[in-house]
């Protein structure tokens, strides 16, 4: 058992013991304390991967405390419903997740307490994000726009966080649709409204927004502007150990490396990749690790080592598949590694294998409307037509929030 798992087991045991004491002696704590302990129990079960037990524990929170008058207790009920919905969505039970998310505004939509109103906003924002994650981009954007219109007068810190989240998720969806100008406008709105926030949760949204903006600028061919945004991101969050912040910072290091490759500055790109390995690799997600391998393969190809590049591309593709299997998004890394692998194969004289790989890639990504995959398909078709190397290219988004 890992140290993290041991900590969660202790959290679970501690919550169970305290619940028993409080229920035996109600005077030893408050009703709010009891509700929080019930939630902590469910949370620990969820983090331990015991989803079925966690769902039952979330239901117990709702059943026991939903009739309370104290807004602090009801806020815990909202959190239980929210996390129940997230658990169901992760398990593929979309209908169950939607029902749990809807229960929050149905129960608390008319609440005057600012914390409860923020929770209602949060449920709707999260459902919009879920719609986007499962590919219903337009429906997700429509719901988030409704939330943003209705939240225009929300001033609480938690409410402001939900607005930032709504803007960030909307921008990501617009980016995936290829509506890059609208995505940039939405990101600029988020950064303009919340860029100076000291709230740690809002700062996570700022970091993600800067990273996303750099990606969009790259896709528009505005590489110098993208480098400026990357510098802003890295300077603003230098030394921040929050994983939710360090992830976009790590991604921005890779983005800079890809831009440098686009300019033919492969030595500088290699230095950026070394920096990523030293500062970020240990805590990176599978898709970022796969992306790093793809970059290293392309550097190796430029150095005249196609066999070494093929090994790295194969590793990148395998790691990206693992990311997909665990709910990540390694699809664009696989596409980039696949089209560059074909280039390397041609250079080693394995033309038939290169042709087969390109044909497979085109079939797999032809229907993917995102700008990144469509650009890769175009490159694959050009390479297939003359079996020429697809050349250097900008980076497309490989990370999901």
Specify burial of residue 220 (Cβ count, 10 A radius: 0-12, 13-18, 19+): middle
Length, in residues, of the chain = 401
* pLDDT recorded at residue 153: 65
Q: Collect all residues with Cβ–Cβ distance below 8 Å to 195 and sequence separation of at least 6.
A: 206
Question: What is the average pLDDT across 172-182?
Answer: 92
Write out pLDDT tens, residues 128-171: 988 888 788 999 999 999 989 887 666 667 778 889 999 999 99
Residue that wins the pLDDT comparison between 387 and 175:
175
Q: Which of 228-237, 361-370, 391-400 has the lowest mean pLDDT?
A: 391-400
* pLDDT recorded at residue 388: 47
Residue 8 has pLDDT above 90, yes or no: no
Q: Annotate 339-365 with b (16+ C-beta within 10 A) or e (fewer).
A: bbbbbbbbbeebeeebbebbeebbebb
Write out pLDDT tens, residues 236-290: 998 787 878 888 999 999 999 999 999 999 999 999 999 999 988 888 889 899 9
* pLDDT confidence tier of residue 16, bands split at 50, 70 and 90: confident
Specify burial of residue 224 (Cβ count, 10 A radius: 0-12, 13-18, 19+): exposed
* pLDDT confidence tier of residue 398, bands split at 50, 70 and 90: very low
Residues 297, 312: contact at Cβ < 8 Å? yes
* pLDDT confidence tier of residue 13, bands split at 50, 70 and 90: confident
Closest among 152, 71, 112 to 79, alpha carbons compared: 71
CA angle 20, 25, 26 (to 5 degrees): 100
Count how many Cα atoms sit within 13 Å of the Cα of residue 218 in the half-sphere of its side chain. 29
Specify burial of residue 368 (Cβ count, 10 A radius: 0-12, 13-18, 19+): middle
Q: Of all residues in the chain, what percent carry a pLDDT higher than 90? A: 50
* pLDDT recorded at residue 112: 80
Residues 116, 78: contact at Cβ < 8 Å? yes
Q: Collect all residues with Cβ–Cβ distance below 8 Å to 188 and sequence separation of at least 6.
A: 213
Count how many Cα atoms sit within 13 Å of the Cα of residue 198 in the half-sphere of its side chain. 0
Going by the DSSP 8-state scheme, the letter that residue 113 receives in this structure is: S
* pLDDT confidence tier of residue 395, bands split at 50, 70 and 90: very low
d(C-alpha 187, C-alpha 197), whole Å: 15
* pLDDT confidence tier of residue 2, bands split at 50, 70 and 90: low
* pLDDT confidence tier of residue 367, bands split at 50, 70 and 90: confident
CA distances from 298 to 184, 226, 258, 294, 305 (A): 29, 21, 10, 6, 10
Count how many Cα atoms sit within 13 Å of the Cα of residue 248 in the half-sphere of its side chain. 29
Write out pLDDT tens, residues 307-337: 999 999 999 999 999 988 877 778 889 999 9
């Amino acid at each position: 058992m890992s140290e993290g798992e041991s900590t969660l087991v202790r959290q679970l045991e501690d919550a169970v013991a305290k619940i028993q004491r409080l229920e035996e002696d109600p005077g030893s704590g408050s009703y709010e304390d009891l509700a929080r302990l019930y939630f902590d129990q469910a949370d620990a079960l969820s983090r331990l991967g015991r989803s079925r037990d966690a769902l039952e524990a979330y239901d117990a929170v709702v059943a026991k405390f939903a009739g309370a008058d104290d807004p602090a207790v009801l806020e815990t009920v909202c959190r239980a419903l929210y996390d129940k919905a997230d658990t169901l969505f992760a398990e593929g039970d979309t209908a169950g997740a939607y029902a749990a998310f809807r229960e929050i505004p149905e129960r608390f939509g008319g609440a005057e307490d600012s914390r409860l109103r923020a929770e209602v906003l949060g449920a709707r924002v999260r459902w919009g994000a879920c719609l986007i994650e499962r590919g219903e981009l337009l429906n997700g954007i429509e719901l988030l726009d409704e939330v943003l219109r209705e939240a225009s007068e929300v001033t609480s810190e938690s409410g402001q966080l939900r607005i930032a989240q709504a803007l960030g998720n909307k921008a990501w969806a617009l980016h995936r649709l290829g509506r890059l100008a609208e995505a940039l406008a939405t990101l600029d709105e988020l950064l303009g409204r919340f860029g100076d926030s000291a709230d740690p949760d809002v700062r996570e949204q700022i970091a993600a927004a800067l990273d996303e903006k750099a990606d969009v600028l790259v896709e528009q061919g505005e590489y110098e502007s993208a480098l400026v945004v990357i510098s802003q991101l890295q300077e603003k969050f230098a030394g921040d150990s929050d994983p939710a912040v360090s992830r976009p910072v790590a991604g921005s290091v890779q983005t800079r490396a890809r831009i440098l490759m686009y300019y033919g500055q492969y030595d500088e790109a290699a230095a950026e990749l070394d920096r990523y390995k030293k500062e970020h690799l240990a805590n990176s997600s599978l898709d970022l690790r796969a992306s790093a391998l793809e970059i290293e393969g392309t550097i190796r190809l430029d150095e005249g080592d196609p066999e070494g590049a093929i090994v790295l591309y194969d590793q990148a593709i395998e790691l990206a598949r693992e990311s997909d299997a665990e709910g990540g998004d390694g699809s664009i890394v696989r596409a980039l590694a696949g089209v560059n692998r074909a280039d390397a194969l041609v250079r080693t004289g394995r033309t038939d294998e290169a042709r087969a790989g390109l044909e497979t890639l085109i079939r797999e990504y032809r229907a993917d409307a995102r700008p990144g995959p469509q650009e890769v398909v175009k490159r694959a078709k050009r390479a297939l037509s003359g079996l020429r190397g697809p050349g250097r290219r900008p980076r497309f988004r490989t990370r999901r929030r």
